[in-house]
Amino acid sequence: MAVTTSTRRPAERRPDRSGRATRPGRQERTERPWLGQWNSTVTSYYLLVGATGLLLVVGLVMVLSSSTIESIAAGQSPYAAFLNQGRYALMGLPLMLVAARLPLRWYKRLAWPALLVSLGLLAAVPFLGKVVNGNRNWLVLGPVQFQPSELAKLALAVWLGAVLGRKQHLLGRWGQALLPAALGLAAVAGLVLAGHDLGTALVIAMLGLGAYWVSGAPAALLAFGGTAAALLVGWAFIVNQDSSDRIERILATYGSTCDKASECYQSIHGLYGLGTGGLFGVGLGASREKWNYLPEAHNDFIYAVIGEELGLLGTLLVLALFAVLGVAMARVVRRHPDPFVKITTAAVACWIVGQAFVNIGVVIGVLPVIGVPLPLVSAGGSALVTTMVALGVVISFARSEPGAAEALAARPSVVRRSVGVLSRRRGHRRERRP
């Protein structure tokens, strides 16, 4: 009796519109439908777009709510700060869209020119810069006023990705790991410290740490860099200070006594705002601390106004949106095969998410006041536009994940889906008519 073997080939897997590989004719498992969506190749893209859009909306609303009283007291329109923030948001939106569409090779080509231009602008700040709140970190070029340190963050992140990604297999040697990446990082941080902007220098240090960590640099090198950064921060705090105001604020933050009328005034009123809000808040626009009690209510301490007006739920919403940004960028780092993308995304994640948690830590009293705004939420044109462009870069990376471009191209656009829904409704209405 002859034994016959089946020559039937197994059905090939082919990607569906979401980018997942499925067997033809086989129904998708329904036990865990969320797992299939989470493993989709476009999940990172939609998480980044959704969290960025919601944070922008929350920021515009809260800038309007927290700045009206101070604007009126200054003899301006109650919408002055909001219109200014909205203007910068409209400027950053097309730049973010362009950044989200640029291919990877353009970012690799622009890495060196962007860093050199940023270093030139930072070098001009000590001579031509404008002093704001004791820090010389603003540059005025005609009618344009901006912070070169914000542009330097984005340029440094892309440059570190290009340099460390190209020589990733050589980073086991200290000489290859330090040159030229460490020199560029030290140059940017040093020029920022020359303007006495310690908060931005700390963010740049976190950015560099994230880039080196993902690049696979030796642990001993990371420990050495952390020690050097700690010594530099100590020097900036103790030696390079014109007065002891900052040291007194730090000691008061972690000390047993705190003078509510001097060094702890801002921190105490920030906690007053958070405590007054309770669970649901006092209502949008009903904050009491924004009546010139809380300094920088629409900027560095806008999180306190969010807690007062929207309550604990509002603060947790903002915290959750930044956590979503962090998770989405971690997905890009884990799933993308290009080392340049991995390192640049890690640097941007440590910059934006790290700065957000530093700002929140300052407001809740865990960290001393160092003057770091909340990304996408606090008022500030340079920071808003640069952060939007940086997120546009990461969105471009998410679009280039394996299978993401095909999945996005297979999905109908919002306009086409809307037109399809409207046409079907019109067809139903015509059929119902006699």
What residue spans define the domains of the chain?
42-402
Q: How far is CA 184 from CA 75, 112, 164, 177, 208, in A?
A: 44, 10, 12, 12, 10
pLDDT in tens, 102-134: 999 999 999 999 999 999 999 998 888 787 766
Q: How far is CA 416 from CA 399, 406, 423, in A?
A: 20, 18, 10
Q: What's the CA gap between 300 and 302, in Å, rounded? A: 6
What does the mean pLDDT of the chain come to? 83
Q: What's the CA gap between 156 and 205, in Å, rounded? A: 11
Q: Are residues 197 and 368 in contact, defined by beta-carbon separation less than 8 angstroms?
A: no
Reduced to 3 states, what is the DSSP secondary structure of residue 137? strand
Q: Are residues 72 and 359 in contact, defined by beta-carbon separation less than 8 angstroms?
A: no
Q: Are residues 146 and 381 in contact, defined by beta-carbon separation less than 8 angstroms?
A: yes
Output Rg (C-alpha) for the chain, integer angstroms: 25
Q: pLDDT tens string for the chain (434 positions)?
A: 444 444 444 444 445 544 554 444 444 444 566 555 677 888 999 999 999 999 999 999 999 999 999 999 989 999 999 999 999 999 999 999 999 999 999 999 999 999 999 999 999 988 887 877 667 788 887 777 889 999 999 999 999 999 999 887 777 777 777 888 889 999 999 898 887 788 898 899 999 999 999 998 888 888 887 788 777 766 766 555 554 456 666 666 666 566 666 667 888 889 999 999 999 999 999 999 999 899 889 999 999 999 999 999 999 999 999 999 999 999 999 999 999 999 999 999 999 999 999 999 999 988 888 889 999 999 989 999 999 999 999 999 999 988 887 888 887 654 455 445 445 655 555 555 55
Residue whose structure tokens are 């859009």 = 53
Residues 6 or more apart whose Cβ sits within 8 Å of residue 270: 289, 294, 301, 303, 304, 363, 364, 365
Q: Which amino acid is at 104?
A: L
The percent of residues in the chain predicted with pLDDT above 90, rounded, is: 53
Q: What's the CA gap between 255 and 299, in Å, rounded? A: 26
pLDDT at 221: 81
DSSP code per residue over 223-287: HHHHHHHHHHHHIIIIIS-SSSHHHHHHHHHHSS---TTTTTHHHHHHHHHHHHHTTT-S-TT--
DSSP 130: E
pLDDT in tens, 179-229: 888 899 999 998 988 877 888 988 999 999 999 999 988 888 888 877 887
Q: Are residues 44 and 431 in contact, defined by beta-carbon separation less than 8 angstroms?
A: no
Q: Are residues 264 and 362 in contact, defined by beta-carbon separation less than 8 angstroms?
A: no
Give the global pTM. Answer: 0.85
Q: What's the CA gap between 55 and 374, in Å, rounded? A: 10
**Which residue, among 32, 33, 30, 5, has the nearest Cα to 18 in the 3D structure?**
33
Helices 181-194 and 104-128: crossing angle in degrees, nearest 10, is 30
**Which residue, among 160, 186, 179, has the nearest Cα to 348 in the 3D structure?**
160
Q: How far is CA 218 from the centre of its chain?
A: 27
Q: Is the dihedral of CA 272, 278, 282, 284 positive or negative?
A: positive
Q: Which amino acid is at 406?
A: E
Q: How far is CA 300 from the centre of its chain?
A: 15
pLDDT at 11: 46
Q: Which amino acid is at 394?
A: V
Q: How far is CA 405 from CA 18, 330, 410, in A?
A: 10, 19, 9
Q: What's the CA gap between 243 and 410, in Å, rounded? A: 61
